[in-house]
Amino acid sequence: MAEVTVQAPAKINLHLGVGGVRPDGFHPLATAYQAISLSSRVTARDASTWSLTCTGRDGVDVAGVPLDDSNLALRAGRLLATHAGVDRAAALHLDKGIPVAGGLAGGSADAAATLVACNELWDLKLSRETLAELAAELGSDVPFGLYGGSASGHGRGEEVEPLTDAGRYQWVVLTFDFGVSTPAAYAEFDVLHAGSEVPEPEIPPALIKALADGSVDGLAAALGNDLQPATLRLRPDLAVPLTAGREASALAALVSGSGPTCLFLVRDAEHGAQVAAALADFGHARLASGPVPGAEVL
């Protein structure tokens, strides 16, 4: 095959449970992920040397995407070649529909898509499980990009298990032209919890039940993010769109991961358009639905 295109989804955290910092600086996580319909498409073309180009679609600004060896997609392609022991390269093109540095794991989606694309391009026939092991070396959100759907994540988030999900949910995803540093959000979490015992993180049983039942109201009541107070201390202004979304009748509003992206659960596309209109002054509001599959060949 001379060229393969693979699509991989953005992730949101339906619940992000964060435990107390360990001596090595690691925070144990218990998170529920959902893959949503914002996606990245990676095209891998057979080539004698590695190269990378990048475009954005649906209003995604790709100015902040590194095109050098630090790019997660290039790292994924090289890691796969090394692991498989093949002396191969590829020309990669990223077409990003996932806003950059928004806590939506866009770089991880690119990496997951590249693993699947090069596995196909080079006819390596590696299993999803093997690709997931390589994915975990690249970053804690990369394995989920392979699996998609709704899933639990433990450890640093890389221990992914599917969750039964009978529902289809509509979201308004509000992104901003500023970022929140993930390490800064965790440092603020540590400040907020200094001197107190932080319980082991867990995914609330009510959330697991809501997904199994496909209950949008149950999900609205069970969404949560232990990092949100820390992120709101770094960016108190995020409280304004969260309140505006609730006042515009969103079923629930929360910060996604370490932010700044905010998520609003809505009933359907029409309700989503109404909530998105109320949020338009704050940032870029997009409609998305989930769960959607993980990285798949187009």
- Which amino acid is residue 296, in one-letter code? E
Interface with ligand ATP by CB under 6 A: which range of 21-29, 82-90, 106-114, 145-153?
106-114
Query: How many amino acids of this chain bind ligand ATP (CB under 6 A)?
Result: 20
CB of 185 to ligand ATP, least distance (A): 9
Instruction: Identify the residue among 25, 59, 66, 155 touching ligand ATP (CB under 6 A).
Output: 66
Our finding on whether 101 is near ligand ATP (CB under 6 A) is yes
Nearer to ligand ATP, 182 or 289 (CB): 182
Nearest to ligand ATP by Cβ — which residue? 107
Nearer to ligand ATP, 110 or 120 (CB): 110
Our finding on whether 76 is near ligand ATP (CB under 6 A) is no
Distance of CA 26 to the CA centre of its chain: 19
- Which amino acid is residue 76, in one-letter code? A
Interface with ligand ATP by CB under 6 A: which range of 59-67, 124-132, 208-216, 277-285?
59-67
Q: Give CA separation, 155 vs 55, 189, 201, 204, 220, in Å.
A: 33, 17, 10, 16, 25
Residue pair 64/103 in contact (Cβ under 8 Å)? The answer is no
Instruction: Identify the residue among 51, 182, 215, 274 touching ligand ATP (CB under 6 A).
Output: 182
Instruction: Identify the residue among 38, 105, 207, 287 touching ligand ATP (CB under 6 A).
Output: 105
3-state helix, strand, coil in the chain (%, to 5): 35, 30, 35
Instruction: Identify the residue among 73, 253, 287, 292 touching ligand ATP (CB under 6 A).
Output: 73
C-alpha to C-alpha distance for 187 and 183, rounded to whole angstroms: 6
Nearer to ligand ATP, 65 or 238 (CB): 65
Our finding on whether 51 is near ligand ATP (CB under 6 A) is no
Instruction: Identify the residue among 95, 110, 165, 188 touching ligand ATP (CB under 6 A).
Output: 110
Please work out, in degrees rounded to the nearest 5, the angle formed at the alpha carbon of residue 85 by the alpha carbons of 79 and 89: 60
Residue pair 253/264 in contact (Cβ under 8 Å)? The answer is yes
Q: What is the DSSP letter of 196?
A: S
Q: Is 175 left (phi over 0), alpha (psi -120 to 50) or beta?
A: beta
Three-state DSSP class for residue 258: coil
Our finding on whether 106 is near ligand ATP (CB under 6 A) is yes
Which candidate, 105, 115, 45, places its Cα nearest to that of 74?
Answer: 115
Our finding on whether 153 is near ligand ATP (CB under 6 A) is no
To the query of whether residue 268 is one of the catalytic residues in this protein, the response is no
Phi, psi (deg, nearest 5) at residue 168: -135, 125
Our finding on whether 259 is near ligand ATP (CB under 6 A) is no
Interface with ligand ATP by CB under 6 A: which range of 82-90, 100-108, 146-154, 165-173?
100-108
Q: Beta-strand (E) ranges in 48-88?
A: 51-56
To the query of whether residue 165 is one of the catalytic residues in this protein, the response is no
Residue of 95, 141, 165, 226 marked active site: 141
C-alpha to C-alpha distance for 240 and 253, rounded to whole angstroms: 11
Residue pair 115/295 in contact (Cβ under 8 Å)? The answer is yes
Our finding on whether 104 is near ligand ATP (CB under 6 A) is yes
Interface with ligand ATP by CB under 6 A: which range of 97-105, 169-177, 210-218, 238-246?
97-105
Q: Which positions are annotated as active-site residues?
A: 11, 141
Interaction site with ligand ATP (CB under 6 A): 64-66, 70-73, 94, 100-108, 110, 141, 182
